[in-house]
Structure 1
Amino acid sequence: MNGLPVTDARGNTLVSLRFGTERDLTAPMPLALVVVEVDGRVLLVFDRRRGQWGLPGGTIELGETSHRAAVRELAAETGIVVSGLRFAAVARFVLRDPVRREYAAVYRAGFATEPAVRPRHDEVSAIAWWHPGTRLLRDQGLLDAEIARRVTGSAR
Structure 2
Amino acid sequence: MTRKRRLVLWLLARWGRATRGMTLGVRIAVIDGDGRVLLVRHGYAPGWHLPGGAVDPGETAAEAALRELREETGVIGDEADLRLLGLLYNPAFGGRDHVATFRLTAFRAGPEPAPNREIAERGWFPLDALPADVTAATRRRLDEIAASAPPATRW
Distance in 2 (alpha carbons) for counterparts of 1:87 and 1:40: 19
Shift of 1:147: 0.6
Matches within 5 A, 1:43-122: 43-84=38-79, 85-95=82-92, 99-111=94-106, 115=109, 118-120=112-114, 122=116
Aligned residue for 2:97, secondary structure, equals strand
- In structure 2, do the counterparts of structure 1 residues 117 and 52 end up closer, same or farther at CA, with 3 Å as the change threshold? farther
- Asked if residue 138 in structure 1 is aligned to residue 123 in structure 2, the reply is no
Distance in 1 (alpha carbons) for counterparts of 2:114 and 2:87: 26
TM-score by length of 1: 0.68
Distance in 1 (alpha carbons) for counterparts of 2:71 and 2:114: 6
Identity of matched residues, %: 29
- What is the alpha-carbon root mean square deviation over aligned residues? 2.6
Aligned residue for 2:138, secondary structure, equals helix
Shift of 1:59: 0.6
Query: In the alignment, what sits opposite 1:150?
Result: 144
Shift of 1:103: 1.3
TM-score by length of 2: 0.68
Instruction: Choose between structure 1 and 2: higher strand proportion.
Output: 1
CA contact (8 A) 2:77 2:106 kept: no
Instruction: Choose between structure 1 and 2: higher helix proportion.
Output: 2
Higher gyration radius (CA): 2
Show structure 2 runs of 5+ residues with no match.
1-21, 151-155
Shift of 1:137: 1.5
Shift of 1:55: 0.2
CA contact (8 A) 1:77 1:120 kept: no
- Asked if residue 41 in structure 1 is aligned to residue 36 in structure 2, the reply is yes
Shift of 1:139: 2.7
Aligned length: 125
Query: In the alignment, what sits opposite 1:19?
Result: none
Distance in 2 (alpha carbons) for counterparts of 1:56 and 1:120: 15
